[in-house]
Structures are given as structure tokens and as C-alpha cells.
Amino acid sequence: MSVTRTLLRSNVRKLRQKLSAIEQKKASNELKQRLSNHVKIQSSNTIALYLANDGELDPMPFIEWCWQQQKQVYLPVLHPFCSGHLLFLLYEKNSSMIKNHYGISEPKLDVTKICPLNQLDILCTPLVAFDHTGARLGMGGGFYDRTMMNWQIHQFYPIGLAHDCQQVDSVPVEYWDIPLPEIITPTQNHRFEVTSN
């Protein structure tokens, strides 16, 4: 495992964990404003999000907006037998939740609530660090790299969500890392030219 990637992960995770509750709340309200004004979001019906953990930018105010707009919200669930893979399950106000292996809440597995990737319009991914090219460093499980591997074929649009302090000069990338076409922070919408994936 690359020492540089491990160190970068640890440094940036500490930065975001240090944000105060007030800073986090302000950031998540700004995120909601940006996402709810986004043309691609406005025309989409099925959106995968996540529940914030480890100081991640919190999409909950945006999730509430999606519910009000009758958009379907999906959350990642660890695949029960395909290790390293995610399923996306419908998340409603009254969904039954359980804690997964990482202590993160996820909807209780119900096959009737799964959204296949080719029926997803937008996938909002959490990340640890990003750079000016759209390179993404995650928490280290490769879950989102596997999910996004063929996003152009599945025809969903990935958007990374992060605090501004998670931008770094350069993310050291590996061949399996999937770059993002767009990253939204509380203060900016970054768009990147993605030639292939």
C-alpha cells in the first residue's frame, strides 16, 4: 500500500474531523443550495447519496429536499456476499436501518428496494481528498472505484461531495482509481474533462 496515499488520507481525514458542528451545518446547507440548483439534479429522479461519517460533508439537508421533491434517494449498502461491492437501497423517512461492519447506518437489506446502477441518474460519492484534475482518494476500500468503473455505460453521472479543505495539490492515482467529472464543495462546483474511465 502506498505510504503517500495512506499519509494523505490520514492528514485530510484529520482536517475534516476538526470542523466544528457550526461549520459542518453551514457547509451542509450550502451544499443543499448548490445541489438543488444543479440542472442535472433537477432533471433526475433517482439519486444515490450517503450518510455522513468521519467529518464528511453532510448531505442530509439535501436528502430532505429530495424527499420533498418526490425524488428517490438511495444509500450504499455493503454487498452481503460480493465482498468489496456496494448495493444501493431506497432510503425513505421510515426506512429500517441497521449498522454495517464499519458502524455506518444502512437500510436493512430488502431485494425489492435495490436500484441497479443502470437505473440510477446521479451517484454522489463521499471522498477523502481530491485535486484539480478530478482525481479522487476515498477511504481505502475501493468500493466507489468498483461502483463507478463503467459509469458512462450505466449512464449515471457521478458527483463527488467534499469540504473545501479536502482539496490537495495532487492525488497520487493508481490505475483502478476512477476520476470524477464533477466535485461540489460548499463554495464551488468543479467540472473536469474526463476522457476515459
Ligand X SMILES: Nc1ncnc2c1ncn2[C@@H]1O[C@H](COP(=O)(O)OP(=O)(O)OP(=O)(O)O)[C@@H](O)[C@H]1O
Amino acid sitting at position 50: Y
Amino acid sitting at position 44: S
CB of 144 to ligand X, least distance (A): 3
Cβ-closest residue to Mg ion?
Answer: 177
- 140 touches ligand X (CB under 6 A): yes
Contacting residue, 177, 180, 181, 184, with Mg ion by CB under 5 A: 177
- 131 touches ligand X (CB under 6 A): no
Which segment (12-20, 58-66, 142-150, 179-187) binds ligand X by CB under 6 A? Answer: 142-150
- Size of site (CB under 6 A) for ligand X: 14
Contacting residue, 13, 85, 142, 167, with ligand X by CB under 6 A: 142
- 61 touches ligand X (CB under 6 A): no
191 binds, among ligand X, Mg ion, none (CB under 5 to 8 A by kind): none
CB of 183 to ligand X, least distance (A): 14
* CA dist., res. 122 & res. 40, Å (int): 8
* CA dist., res. 171 & res. 132, Å (int): 9
Contacting residue, 138, 158, 181, 186, with ligand X by CB under 6 A: 138
Half-sphere CA count of 44, side-chain side, radius 13 A:
24
Task: Kindly list the residues in this chain that would bind ligand X in the complex (CB under 6 A).
Answer: 137-146, 149, 174, 176-177
